[in-house]
Amino acid sequence: MGSMFIELKIDIDRCRAGQPCRACIESCPVDIFVATDGLAAVVADNQDECTLCDLCLQRCPTEAVTLTKLY
């Protein structure tokens, strides 16, 4: 299943360029991100828990995270 309200994406190449990093994982208050193979990944089933706090966008040093509202 995916999100009905928002879509979070991680540009893997940008994420890889900034490693080691856990900024989005550690800053997210609702656990939308996890580490997978050393890179950040979105937990698709958790996306609708997003509070739109933008912490992941603000703290990502390589601007790898994008947020799109689907409504």
Give the pLDDT score at 1: 54
Please spell the DSSP secondary structure of 8-48, one letter per residue.
EEE-HHHHHHT-S--HHHHH-TT--EEEETTEEEE-GGGGG
Domain count, the chain: 1
Domain-located, residue 18:
yes
Q: What is the pTM of this model?
A: 0.86
Domain-located, residue 1:
no
CB neighbourhood size of 36 (10 A): 12
Domain-located, residue 29:
yes
Q: What is the extent of the structural domain holding 60?
A: 6-69
Domain-located, residue 41:
yes
Give the separation between CA 59 and CA 4, rounded to whole angstroms.
25
- Sequence-distant (≥ 6) Cβ neighbours of residue 37 within 8 angstroms: none
Domain of residue 31, CATH code:
3.30.70.20
| pLDDT for residue 46 is more than 80 | yes
Which has more confidence, 1 or 37?
Answer: 37
| pLDDT for residue 40 is more than 60 | yes
